[in-house]
Structure formats: C-alpha cells, structure tokens
Structure 1
Amino acid sequence: MIDSHRWIWIVAALLLGGLLYLLAPILSPFLIGVLLAYMGDPLVDRLERWKLSRTWGVVVVFALITLVMAILLLVLVPMLGKQLVRLYELVPEILDWLQHQALPWVQLKLGLSDGFWRFDQLKEAMSGQLGNTTDIVGMLLSKATASGLAFLAWLANLLLIPVVSFYLMRDWDLMVAKLRSLLPRGREGLVVQLFSECHEVLGAFLRGQLLVMLALGVMYATGLMMIGLELGLLIGVLAGLASIVPYLGVVVGIGAALTAGLFQFGVDFYPLLAIAAVFVVGQMLEGMLLTPLLVGDRIGLHPVAVIFAIMAGGQLFGFTGILMALPVAAVIMVLVRHLYEFYKLSNLYGEPARGSDEPPNPA
C-alpha cells in the first residue's frame, strides 16, 4: 500500500507538471496576480490589525500600488525613454571613441598587433544593426497590431492581473486555511513546517531583496544624476535591477558608469572618483543598513541559485518560467536542506563500509 501511494503521488506530480507546461502560455497573468497577492498580504494583515476590514485593506493596498504605477508611467518611463534615445544617438560617438582613443591606448600598453581588434568589422556590423532599429520597431508594432484578436487577448491578460490579485489578496488567509485543512492529519506538522520554511526563504528574497534592489536603484540613479552623468538615471536603474542577484548590480553599474564617465568627462579624475564613491556608499549602506533592516537574518536564495533558476525557468517555460523560477527554487532549496539532514542521520551515511571494521594499517 505504501508503494502504491508513492506511485500515485509520483503520477499526480507528473500530470501536474505536464498540465502546467501545456497551460504555460496563459499562466502569466495568474502568476503575476499570485505574486502581487503574496507580497501584499502582510500589509493587508497589518491593516486588519488596525481594525480595518479585509476588503478595505485590499482597496488601500491597491490604491498604493496604483499610485506607484502612475508615478512610474508619468515620471520615470518618459525620463528613461529620453535617456534611451540619447544612448541611441551616442552609440556612433562611443564607437569612434573606442576606435580612436580607448582601444589604441590598451593596444599600446599591452603591446598588441595593429590588426588585433578588427574594430572596423565590428563597427560596420553594429552600425548596420543600429540602422535597422527603426525597421525592427516598425515590424514588431505591425505584428502586434496585425491581429486584432491577439491584441485583445494581450489587453485582456493585462486587465486580468489586477482582478486576479484583488480576489486572491482578499481571500488569501481563507485559502491558506482551506488548504491546510486538506492536509493528511498525520503529516500536517511536517508539511506546515516545510511550507513555513519555504515562505521564510521566499519572503526574505521577494519582500527583502526586491526592496533592497529598489532602494539601491534610487540611490545609484540619484547619485549619478547629481554628479552630472548624462546616462545616470538609465545606469542607476539597470544597476538596481541587476541587484536582484547580490553584488551583481554594483559590478554592472560601476562598469557601465565608469565607461560612460570616461566617454563624457575624459580622464578627469574627480568625476570618475565621484562615480566610484556612489557605488561604494551604496554598498556600505546595503551591508550596514538595508540588508539587516529589510532582509534581516533570514536565509535567502544563494546568488548562483537565483541566476540558474531564472535562466532555467526562461529556457523551459519562457516568461512564465521566469515568474515561477524563484518560488520553485525556494521550495527545492528547503527540500534539499532537509534531504541533507536526513542523509546525515541515515544508516547510509553512518554505517561503515563492509570489511572495514578495523582501521587500515598505515604500514
């Protein structure tokens, strides 16, 4: 009976995985809704403790989310659009700077041959791609609007996200209680413990690391713009987004910012020092203030696990896989940790090898 039960669970898991794979194209709005509900539930619970009804708490949270989205759309997105256009205009000048100043200096210092870089071929290829950018944009827009049905489906998915997240956020505690009541009575404690640890890991990452990412993006962008870096906002936002993997944001950000600073300010020491200081101060604030305050001592996901999970999810399921990557990685990490503990306590780990009851003779 025990073996038959195991096979039933294995078959059920395989069927669920196959169903998710088939439904992947339509799961994105539901997964985004689940993510928003999961992140907003603690705030709604806190509003409930302040004697506000569950429904009104969800309304308040949605009003805050709507306000943030409106600010992004009305303020940040146009500013980023202008900087992207400016970057597009600067690319030919950056290529010329690399060809006539930066790369010859590196070539002289390293003693490389004259034709080592073959930069003319690279510049020609990049210039050709940049020349076709407007055509690519037009092609994408034409494909997006060619099918009215596809456009309506995309719009419906977009409008479905707030609806799904609203109802999930409102009924989150009720659904959790219902699911817990369906657990086998003999295994309820173990399952609840596993899910509590998964919740701790995922919560530490989503609610903690994402807030750290947002704060770093604001600090980097503000600091670079105060220095006068022309692409400061764009580089700061990119560095903040890259901070979803710890320490990757500072590497990406300082590399891009110093390159842009060299192009804009030349070899002037003080602006480059100020750029480096922005990222050093950001890392100090992250280590001493942001991470202890927002993440605490909870165990988050390892940076390598984050990178692999996102890449594997995108490869297997596309955008839906990227949304599912971190929750699945959190569950797998908790299960692997428990399997490691079980292995350390098992006879397989503790029993000596056959025929080795006596220690070997060192002679």
Structure 2
Amino acid sequence: MTDIQKLWALAALLVMAVLVVMLEAILMPFLVGALLAYLGDPLADRLEERGLGRTLAVTLVFVSLSSVVVIGILLTIPLIGRQLDLLATKIPQWLHAIQDVLIPWLQRTMDLPKDSLPITQFRTVLTENWTSAGGLLGQIWSKVAGSSVAMLTGLANLVLIPVVTFYLLRDWDVLMARLRDLLPRSIEPTVAGLANECDEILGAFIRGQLLVMLALGIIYTIGLKMVGLDLALILGLTAGLASIVPYMGFIVGIAAAGIAAWFQFHELSMLLAVGGVFAVGQMLEGMVLTPLLVGDRIGLHPVAVIFAIMAGGQLAGFTGVLLALPVAAVIMVLLRHAHSSYKDSKLYSADGL
C-alpha cells in the first residue's frame, strides 16, 4: 500500500469506530440481522447451486431459521421461568444447609472459631438484596412499560431484526462484490485473501461453535434430567452457553450441577452420575461434534475469545459484544501475516543489522 492508501484506510477505520460509538443505541438490530444473514448465506448459496433463484432460496432459509427461533423461544421460555422460580425457592434452603451442615463441619475440621464464618449475616444480606433486586426489576419494568417511547423502540428493534436479516441475506453476495469492487486494484487481491481467512475463522467458530453449544446444551439438559436434577434445564443451557470457550462449559457445568446435585440428593452416587453426564458430553464434543461441525479449521484461541468478549462489552456494551469476535478474527489474521512478514524480513534474519 502507498502512504496515501494507508492514510485513507486509517481514516476509514477511525470513522467507523466513531460511528459505532455514536450510533450504538440503534445498531443492535442491524448487527444481529447481519450476523443472522452471515450464518444463513452458505445455506442460501447451496440452494442456489441446486437451481433455486436467490429470492426463493433466501425465503426458504429465512422461514426455516425463523421457525427454529420461534419454536425454541416458545418451548424454552416457560420452562426457564418455572426453573427460575424453583431456583428462587431453593437458594434459602441451600443457605440453611450451608449453615447447619457445611459450616459446622468446616469449623470442626479446620478448628475455626465459632463466629469466623458469618453465614447468618451473609444469608440476611443476600435475602435483602434478592428482595431489592426483585423490586428494582419491577420498577424498571413499570417504567419501561409505562413509557410508550421505550416500548415502541423495543418493539421496533424486534421487528427490524427479521426485516434486516431478510434483505441482507438476499443481497449478501451483491454487497460483498460491491465492497470488493471499491478496493484499490493494487491491494484488492491481498485484502480479498485476508477476508477469506477471516471468513474461514469466523465460519469455523461462529457457525460451528454455535451448533456445538446448542448440541451440548441439549445433551447436558437431557442427561441431567435423566439423573433427576430439578434444575436440569438451567444448568444444561448454562453449560452449553459457556461452551463458547472450549472446556469452559464442562468446568462451569460440572461444578454448578455437582453443587445442585449434592444439595438435592446428599448422595455421592449422584455426584458420580453428574460427572458421567459431563464426561459423556465432553467425549461427544471431542470425538463427534467438533470434528463434524467445526472441522479442522483453525478457530480463535479460548483466551482471545474471553478477552474479545470482555473488551467489546467494556468498550461498547452489547454492540461491542456483537462486534468482538469479527474484530478479533481480523486482528488474528493480521497478526499472523505480520508475524510471517517479520520472519521473512531483514530485521529478523541474522544479517539484518
């Protein structure tokens, strides 16, 4: 790139960053729609290859994705609501068990003073905050529900998501071609190659890992339900969501489910059964799900995923979270090429100085 091209590229990046910050409040439906269009584009392309027109192919993909989302919401939201109510009733019971069983055992085993672990005060504080949190949520909801502007904005965002998704999905290939045509001819092959690498990483991670997360959530939920755990749905879905980072779902899930199983059954055999569920899930992930859905393509490093999501949320809220992984993929590709260029440069070679 020439110096002028570098300046223009830097200026474009700065303008985009400023626009993201300034327009954060209205970007959510467009970013979600773009993500859904990106996920659905390969399916639409395959249907086109079978002889369907683009509009018909996009319509079939859009209706299929919408049906899956709507059915999933209708099936899971009532169940999650009931399990949250059950969790609210179990927390005080767990605190009583900690006070009556665990704390005395710790004091006897570790020879601690009687008042060294103030669980009573902790339970009081937690109960008060739980109550105030419920009241706060009620106040927030009453304000939102009472504000016609806020309600209309929320409804408009929800309505915009499928509209934006459909039109972006229909014109995705055209938009990508036009963006490619805007690139200076001298750097177009290089930028196109970098974009293909970014797409490979994002495709492997987003399309593949999201399917792995969904499958693991279902596997963990069914397994914990077979064990008899009351909070099987919440714990299974939480473990599935945490699987966005490899092994994180296993660690979080087995710890949370083990604690819940101990308080519910007080039997070591049930802990072993919970461990068996997550062991089976981990084996299926390593031997079946990841090779089948993700393949051998290079994805994002787990640490990079954690840092990207946290940094995106810190810098730009929910919008930053949505942008975190694409930006991380671009940075990863650029760093890889910068590393290769450095290894081939005179600065790295023995006679570089």
What band does the TM-score fall into relative to the shorter chain? over 0.9
Unpaired segments of 5 or more residues in structure 1? Answer: 355-363
Residue in structure 2 matched with residue 300 of structure 1 by the alignment: 299
Match status 1:277 vs 2:276: yes
Aligned-pair CA distance for 1:25: 1.2
Residue in structure 1 matched with residue 339 of structure 2 by the alignment: 340
Match status 1:105 vs 2:114: no
Residue in structure 2 matched with residue 183 of structure 1 by the alignment: 183
Contact 2:40 / 2:61 at 8 angstroms: preserved in 1?
yes
TM-score by length of 1: 0.94
Return the letter of the residue paired with 1:204: A
Q: Deviations over 1:187-238 (max 9, x none)?
A: 2211111000000000000011111100000000000001110111110010
Aligned-pair CA distance for 1:53: 1.6
Count of residues in Structure 1 that have an aligned counterpart in Structure 2:
353
Aligned-pair CA distance for 1:64: 1.4
Q: Taking structure 1 as reference, are residues 240 and 349 closer, same or farther at Cα in structure 2, changes over 3 Å only?
A: same
Return the letter of the residue paired with 1:321: G
Q: Deviations over 1:28-57 (max 9, x none)?
A: 100000000000001111111222221111
Q: Deviations over 1:115-173 (max 9, x none)?
A: 33221221111010122243122111112123211211111111001000100101111
Match status 1:62 vs 2:46: no
Q: Deviations over 1:32-89 (max 9, x none)?
A: 0000000000111111122222111111112212221222222111011100000001
TM-score by length of 2: 0.96
Q: For 2:234 and 2:249, how far apart are their aligned partners in 1?
A: 13
Residue in structure 2 matched with residue 360 of structure 1 by the alignment: none
For 1:106-185, list aligned pairs within 5 A: 106-185=106-185
Secondary structure of 2:23's counterpart equals helix
Secondary structure of 1:132's counterpart equals helix
Residue in structure 1 matched with residue 327 of structure 2 by the alignment: 328
Return the letter of the residue paired with 1:283: Q
Contact 2:145 / 2:151 at 8 angstroms: preserved in 1?
yes
Q: For 1:105 and 1:55, how far apart are their aligned partners in 2?
A: 67
Q: For 2:334 and 2:215, how far apart are their aligned partners in 1?
A: 31
Contact 2:346 / 2:352 at 8 angstroms: preserved in 1?
no
Match status 1:84 vs 2:80: no
Identical aligned residues as a percent: 53
Residue in structure 1 matched with residue 34 of structure 2 by the alignment: 34
Larger radius of gyration: 1
Aligned-pair CA distance for 1:353: 7.6
Q: For 2:45 and 2:4, how far apart are their aligned partners in 1?
A: 41
Larger CA deviation: 307-316 vs 55-64: 55-64
Q: For 1:110 and 1:337, how far apart are their aligned partners in 2?
A: 51
Larger CA deviation: 109-118 vs 126-135: 109-118
Larger CA deviation: 255-264 vs 44-53: 44-53
Contact 2:29 / 2:157 at 8 angstroms: preserved in 1?
yes
Aligned-pair CA distance for 1:352: 4.7
Q: Taking structure 1 as reference, are residues 11 and 178 closer, same or farther at Cα in structure 2, changes over 3 Å only?
A: closer
Aligned-pair CA distance for 1:14: 1.6
Q: For 1:274 and 1:12, how far apart are their aligned partners in 2?
A: 55
Aligned-pair CA distance for 1:314: 0.5
Aligned-pair CA distance for 1:270: 2.1
Unpaired segments of 5 or more residues in structure 2? Answer: none
Secondary structure of 2:299's counterpart equals coil
Residue in structure 2 matched with residue 309 of structure 1 by the alignment: 308
Q: For 2:110 and 2:139, how far apart are their aligned partners in 1?
A: 44
- Extract structure 1 runs of 4+ deviating beyond 6 A: none
Q: For 2:185 and 2:351, how far apart are their aligned partners in 1?
A: 37
Aligned-pair CA distance for 1:15: 2.1
